[in-house]
Amino acid sequence: MFKKPMTLKQKNAWFGVLFASPLMFGMILLFILPLIQSFRYSLSSLDMVEGGFEVTYEGFENYTSLFTSNPDFPRTLAESIGNMVVNVPLILIFSLFAAVLLNQKFIGRPFARAIFFLPVILASSAIANLDISSFVGGGAIPAGNGGEGGSNALQSFELSKMMIESGLSPVIVNYITGAVDRIYEIISSSGVQILIFLAGLQSISPSLYEASKIEGATGYESFWKITFPMVTPLILTNMVYSITDTFSSNQINLLISETAFKVFDFGLSAAMSWVFFLCVGLILAVSVGLISRKVFYYD
């Protein structure tokens, strides 16, 4: 009895499984199993003994102590979420603005694109660990010595005072001054997003702009009626990437690492990791759920 040959669709499906199998095995060995082990450690206390360590089950005591007897973790977690709320919209706005400019035809365009992507290439540990406050207000040079840091802080104060006196809300003033203080961080974190937006802008059919120009649409109208709707899927992509990138390098990761490898409290460190992981997952789920409703997909 002869076996029925596979159809082309079945062959393609098996080729797909074969192609994805290294990733699936890697996920199981390098992610799923350590994830389960980490959750087990978060419910236990680890004591160093001869030849290794001993795991003692303690329930949710580590999670309780995070918010009752550990003053650093709730404060650091709140600061990380606050920085994400401030930085991600600024990164998305700046990267889209920069991509639109870099998509125009002008002399030296490849050089300008390389400059905007340069911070991503040069993101070494030495550059990443620079004290940004030494560049903008509140730097290492005290104001009393006439240093540049004190001068920047004074100018920032004068700018805030002027905007408040003009009638702007203090919330808006604080957001604007915070954006100015974060300008180096925003630019250095926007390279990948600019590249993604630039690829999306170049994929928009020129015929759409030609038709709108024939109909008498201005550049402003073309942006909001053609460009912006066409890049909304990339806004969602860049938002997810920016949130993940913001949380991947902040003070809470340093706190988790120090708790594990300096204090040697591995159970508490695992509990911190899980709380942080759940917070990031919740923020991503809410953000994607809200933004995906407004995404426009062009067929």
Read off the pLDDT of residues 90-100 as tens digits, 9 standing for 90 and up: 899 989 998 88
Q: pLDDT at position 286, please?
A: 93
Q: pLDDT at position 126, please?
A: 44
Q: pLDDT at position 136, please?
A: 43
Statement: residue 203 has pLDDT above 70: yes
Structure-block tokens of residue 153: 């802080």
Structure-block tokens of residue 240: 């997810």
Q: What is the mean pLDDT of the chain?
A: 79
Sequence-distant (6+) residues with CB within 8 A of 137 are 149, 152, 153, 155, 156, 181
Query: Alpha-carbon distance 160 to 180, whole Å?
Result: 11
Q: pLDDT at position 140, please?
A: 40
Q: pLDDT at position 144, please?
A: 42
Decide: pTM greater than 0.75.
no
Confidence of residue 284 (pLDDT cuts 50, 70, 90): very high
Mean pLDDT in residue range 275-290: 91
Helix (H, G, I), strand (E, B) or coil at 114: helix
Query: Alpha-carbon distance 91 to 231, whole Å?
Result: 15
Query: Alpha-carbon distance 162 to 87, whole Å?
Result: 24
For residues 267 and 44, is the Cβ–Cβ distance under 8 A? Answer: yes
Mean pLDDT in residue range 58-82: 87
Mean pLDDT in residue range 232-258: 87
Sequence-distant (6+) residues with CB within 8 A of 84 are 243, 246, 247, 283
